[in-house]
Amino acid sequence: MKKTKKKSRHVLRTLCILLLAICLLAGVGVGIYFQKGDWLFSVEQSFVRYETPDLTPLFRFEGETRPLSEWLADERVTTSYLLMLVNASHPLPEGYEAELTEYNGARMHPLMVENYVALRDAVQAKTGVRIYVSSDFRTSEEQEQIIAESEVGIAAPVGCSEHEAGFALDVYAPYFAGMEFLRSPAGREVNRVCSKYGFVIRYQKDKTDITGISWEPWHLRYVGAPHAEIMAKSGLSYEEYVDYLTPEVWFLHGDYLILRTAAEALTLPNEWQSCHISPDNTGYYIVTLKIR
């Protein structure tokens, strides 16, 4: 009888200790989640396995060849500077003038607006928090001002900023700006899903030696579909992505064909829906053809 009592007391004590340990662990977990979301996000990201870019080279297809100037007259063809590589060694072209529109006081390229709104609304629907733009288009004078106010290596030189190109937005969640952005669920969600809306986190954590800019989880660069998703899934920086597109080779990705070329004549397949042409600022232009 005495032995059974002792045994049950022992079991009870073990259970209490176990319960206490679970409570402690859960408490620490919850604490980390709310206070150090950025740390948890980094852990989550370290489990992401990047894939080889989903781009299948197409060496031959039936099509029609026309000079580029003739294709440009086709109403299905649109042009912009969307896919321009902009960095310290690739400044904006001489005389470049950003095409801009204003949305809620933020100046950005007209191609981005709809997708920015969709991203903002999706993040709000998921997290209950609305994100805002803290930095939009910048004139060269505004970029100069930013450089003067920043630490070395934070801001791109004048003429080399994607903000001056009109294709970048810096975003924040209330009380969570800059590196703090990842401590908010909205910031982490932006980083997780922005590629679905044509945006990439342009200055990645592990690519600072290539981009020349420190990690900026708040800086969104618009490159559109399907480029943003290919980059996000493969983990490539924009420098690497442009380099990956071997010149004069068509690549198939889902409903898209992509070509980086310097040719003056272009062969397009017989059937296609829309075509976007943008210089890449490295001496080539990139053709993004929607075939279905």
Residues 179-198 that bind Zn ion (CB under 5 A): none
Residues 206-245 interacting with Zn ion (rule: CB under 5 A): 219
Footprint of Zn ion on 250-279 (CB under 5 A): none
Binding mask 159-178 for Zn ion (x = CB under 5 A): -----------x--------
Task: Tell the smallest beta-carbon distance from residue 214 to Zn ion (Å).
Answer: 11
DSSP alpha helix (H) spans, the chain: 2-35, 37-46, 68-72, 110-127, 140-149, 162-165, 185-193, 208-211, 227-234, 238-244
User: Tokens 């669920």 sit at which residue?
Assistant: 185
**Minimum separation from the CB atom of position 69 to Zn ion (A):** 35
Sheet containing 256-261: order of strands: 56-58, 250-253, 256-261, 285-290, 274-279, 77-79
Number of residues that bind Zn ion (CB under 5 A): 2
What are the C-alpha distances in Å from 187 to residues 90, 114, 193? 29, 20, 10
Counting contacts by CB under 5 A, is residue 138 touching Zn ion?
Answer: no
Is 97 part of the annotated catalytic residue set?
Answer: no
Q: Which is nearer to Zn ion, 145 or 267 (CB)?
A: 145
- Compute the least distance from the CB of residue 168 to Zn ion, in Å: 5
Compute the least distance from the CB of residue 217 to Zn ion, in Å.
Answer: 11
Q: Phi, psi at residue 37, to the nearest 5°? A: -55, -30
116, 120, 156, 167 from 108: Cα distances, Å: 10, 15, 18, 6
Alpha-carbon distances, residue 131 vs 169, 174, 188, 223, 270 (angstroms): 11, 7, 11, 20, 43
Q: CB-wise, 168 or 258, nearer to Zn ion?
A: 168
Taking the least distance from each CB to Zn ion, the nearer of 55 and 169 is: 169
Q: Which entry of 162, 164, 189, 216 is annotated as an active-site residue?
A: 216
Residues 48-77 that bind Zn ion (CB under 5 A): none
Considering the complex, what minimum distance in angstroms separates the CB of residue 135 from Zn ion? 5
Considering beta carbons, is residue 169 or 275 the nearer one to Zn ion? 169
- Compute CA distances 110 → 80, 82, 103, 163, 225, whole Å: 10, 11, 9, 14, 15
Toward Zn ion, which CB reaches closer, 109 or 276? Answer: 109
Residues of span 79-118 touching Zn ion by CB under 5 A: none
Query: How far is the C-alpha of 58 from the C-alpha of 44, rounded, in Å?
Result: 35
Known catalytic residues are 216
Binding site for Zn ion (CB under 5 A): 170, 219
